[in-house]
Amino acid sequence: MQDIVLISIPESSIRNIVEQAVRKAISEANLPTENFDGDQLITRKEAASLVGVCLATLDNKVKAGILIKYTTEGIVRFKKKEVIDAFSKPMFPKSNRAAKTQVKKT
């Protein structure tokens, strides 16, 4: 049986760790740099694959107003550059409220 160790990590530290990991993953994704047409329209599946997320995560960015979807005759498309930009921004905007933790008294 493995021992379980619980530690307290400040919310800001967790944010930094996750943001650095995502930025590293995006930078290592070998996105095209030459002849890159940022206005090129791509499908939902292509957009999700481009940045390595599921379709639901892509839809959540649209609902949050971070990413714009373009619809023509019921067909949804995204601009390649906008997809990359949307997923290059910090995932967790800084908040002014302190992290809430619960302590169980025994």
Residue 64 structural domain: 36-91
Residue type, 55: L
Full pLDDT tens readout for the chain, 106 residues: 688 888 888 888 888 888 888 877 777 776 555 555 667 899 999 999 999 999 999 999 999 999 999 988 888 999 999 998 888 876 666 655 555 555 556 5
Q: What is the pLDDT of residue 58?
A: 92
Q: What is the pLDDT of residue 88?
A: 84
Q: What is the pLDDT of residue 95?
A: 58
Q: What is the pLDDT of residue 43?
A: 93
If one counts the domains in the chain, the total is 1
**What CATH number should be reported for the domain holding residue 44?**
1.10.10
Nearest CA to 89 out of 70, 63, 69, 61 is that of 61
Distances (CA, A) of 106 to 29, 49, 60, 100, 103: 48, 47, 40, 19, 10
60 domain-assigned: yes
